[in-house]
Every structure is written in structure tokens, then in C-alpha cells.
Chains A and B, each alone.
Chain A
């Protein structure tokens, strides 16, 4: 226990804890929408595209947020549009495009000799969170949470039934775009900590666990956020204690929670 408390004396641990907690909560509340709308693949696709853009920015030595944020936002528009319009064929197209992006990112990183950066982007790194990253994640998390509060009733409706929402005169495309942008922002920041390969799990898993016990949409959102926070903090501790990449610890914690939920529900 005291070892864990000792960790809190390291500034990078504090930064990781704050940034990661906020990102985890945001990822999981957006995850509720993505899971219910069967857009679970999106987080995965976006992070692989984000990885390519991070590799490019590292190779060109420019700020990663500057390149990857617009790139991933653009990609999220395309993915939402394609998966709505072309359904299963769209999912296949997204899988193809995003694994190509992942390969491209790996090639660029290897050729430009940035393999250490590559592994930190693939597996995530809490050490990578600078003071600037921390501020960036706080700002982004506040934007996501505020948008979620302001547009909660609209997000609920769009998630529930788009046809019905349009019959109420609601501009569903506009809110789709907002959801895409918020997802992109969270993916870009979240993949730095959790890793390209695991951020989509941080988005999806808490919502899946919360679905086991939640009653109603509001409770689903709240429980999902709480589970994600618990999973992040305990995953971070796991990763320090066993010297694992943080993303893996967080996903492990999320998976354990999901199994426990399912087992309790069975009884």
C-alpha cells in the first residue's frame, strides 16, 4: 500500500492519473453511444489512423496533436458516413483502410528510426504524458463532458432512433458530426496513454459491463463512467506493480470487471 502511495510523489504519475482518469470517463460515456449504435469498430479504426498520423508527425518532427487531431476528426467523418451508408461493406472498407494505416505508420516509424516512439504509440505510455499533454487532455475532457451534458437529450434520441429523431425536426447529421468529433478527440489523446491497439477497448468495455446492470439510458451512462474510472485507476496500479504498459493493465481491469458483472448477473 505504501508503495502505491509513494508513486503519487512522482509528477508523471500524477499527470497520468489525472489525464487518464478524465480520458477514461469520456471514452466510456461516448462508448455507450458507439456500442448502442453498433459503431464499436470506429474507435479501433480511428486509433490506427491516428497511429499513422502520429508516426508521420514524429518523422517530420512536428507536434503530434497538430497533425493527428485534424486527421482523426476527418477520418471519423468518413468512417461514420461510410458505415452508415454501406453497412457491412463499409465495415470491411474501414477494416482494410485502418490496417493499411497501421502498416503505413509502422513503416514510416521504422524508416525514420523512431522505433521507440512507435512502441510507445502502439502500447501507450504514461511516461509520455507531458505537462502540455495534461493541459490538452483536461481541455478536451471538459469539452467532451460539457458537450455531453448540453446535448445529452439529443444524443439520447440519435442513439435511440434516427428516423424518429428526424421526425421531431432534429438535424441528425449535425449531431452525428459532433459525436464523431468528440470520439476523434478522445481517441487521439487516449491512444497516447492506452496505446493504439487498446484504446478502442477502453471505449467499448465499460459500456458493455454497465449494460449488465444499468436500468435506463442515464444510469447506463453514469455506471459506464464509474466503471471506466475504477478500471483505469486499478489498471494503472496493476501496470506499475507488475511493470506493464498502462493500456494493458486498464484493459485487464476492465475485462475482470466485465467477467465479475456477468457472473453476478447469472446468479
Chain B
């Protein structure tokens, strides 16, 4: 089991954003989360990542988790180089410095996602597709057992799309569980078959196989 969410309720002050959701993933599972804007997809992902407290319900999860948030305004201004961002995927609580192995993992993740040439560029100079690949490289270099992706395909060009799907299929085949939020049904075709969960008003209203 990579994560198991049972009867989760997540609130923003009084507003219920996730309402009694149960969901589980095992090794190698692929879960797609779809639903309209504001249906609670990001909230659910953050809840599983442990970034939002559950008002009720329970969460069990592996510690080896990588979370890829939606692109935020902050990333468009922050003065950091690609390599400075990618290697943070290897940071853990209690760890102070990166070692050679960390650098190697970061380098190979950048190569895998075709952004090694961008390593010394500042992230604010990247296109949306390049930045997405930076985030995925950062997530993968942490060697996760659970990968949480919040709309990784938003604004991607065809080439980035392809590279992203290849990378996701590869970690799935290594036994990593992947949960991916997506708007676009065509994303389902490029990735190994899995479950498709549809949210509406914070509840699961449909579940099917892709």
C-alpha cells in the first residue's frame, strides 16, 4: 500500500472542499483525478501529500512521496537555477547537505527529462513546458514510491508531453504509484491504464478504468 485515505474530509475554515473521500493506491497503480474547476482536485492532492490537515478521516502513506504542485506565481519570479531546484527533490528532514550521489541523481533526472542543457538557466526564464519538466525531474530524483502530480500537463507542448508520459510510464513500471490530476481526457491515452476518479463538489461521483 502506498497510500490509503479513508472517509477524508478537508475544510478551508468552514467551507468543505473534500467530503468523505476514500481512495487507495498500491505499488504500480495509476490513478487519474478529473473534475471541473473548483471540484477539489488540488485539495485532495494536497491532503494526500500531507499539506492540509484532515478534519476527519484517516491517511496512511509512504514517507517516500514526491509532490508536484501546480505552477505558482512564485516560480515565475524566484531567482534559482534549474539545478538548484531539481536537487531539492533529494532533501529530507534532518538532512543538511547534498552529497555526490544526490548530484548524480539530479543530473540523471535532468537528462531523462531532456533539461540537462538548461541546468544553469534561472527558472524564471523557462517556458511552461520546460518548468513542468524541471518539476518532474525534481520529483523523480527523490526516487519516490508515490508520485502526486497536480495538472502536470497544463500548457505543455507536444514534445514535453511525450517526455512526461515516458517518464511517468517508467516509474510506474518500477513500482511507483502515481496519482495525476488532469483536465484533459487525451492524457489518459499516453499513460499506462489505471483508474479514473471524477470529483464534483469535493465528492467522488464516478470511477472507471482508463
Using a CB–CB distance below 8 Å, which chain A residues touch chain B? Answer: 36, 150-151, 153-154, 156-157, 160-161, 163-164, 166-171, 211, 214-218, 220
Contact = CB atoms under 8 A, between A and B. Distances in A.
B122 interface: yes
A218 B50 contact: no
A154 B51 CA distance: 18
Contacts of A220: 79
Contact of B81 (A166, A170, A215): A215
Contacts of B93: 168-171
B50 A166 contact: yes
Contact of B122 (A154, A167, A216): A216
Contact of B84 (A151, A169, A216): A216
A36 B91 contact: no
Contacts of B79: 36, 211, 214-217, 220
Main SS class of interface, B: loop
B88 A166 contact: no
Interface residues of B, number: 28
B12 to A, nearest CB: 14
Interface in B91-108: 91-93, 96-98
A215 B122 contact: yes
A160 B65 contact: no
Interface of B: 46, 49-51, 63, 65-67, 69, 72, 74-75, 78-81, 84-85, 88, 91-93, 96-98, 120, 122, 142
Nearest to B94: A169
Given A150-B96, A151-B96, A161-B74, A168 B91 contact: yes
A217 B51 contact: no
Contacts of A218: 84
A251 to B, nearest CB: 23
Contacts of B72: 161
A214 B65 CA distance: 32
Given A167-B66, A169-B92, A216-B79, 8 more contacts: A153-B98, A160-B74, A161-B74, A163-B51, A167-B49, A170-B93, A217-B81, A220-B79
A168 B79 CA distance: 21
A217 B93 CA distance: 21
Nearest to A215: B122
A177 B80 CA distance: 23
Given A156-B88, A215-B122, A163 B69 contact: yes
14 contacts: A36-B78, A36-B79, A153-B98, A156-B80, A156-B84, A163-B69, A168-B91, A168-B93, A168-B142, A169-B63, A170-B93, A171-B93, A216-B81, A217-B81
A223 B78 CA distance: 16
A160 B50 contact: no
Contacts of B91: 153-154, 157, 168, 170
Given A36-B78, A161-B72, A167-B65, A217 B84 contact: yes
A174 to B, nearest CB: 9
A154 B96 CA distance: 7
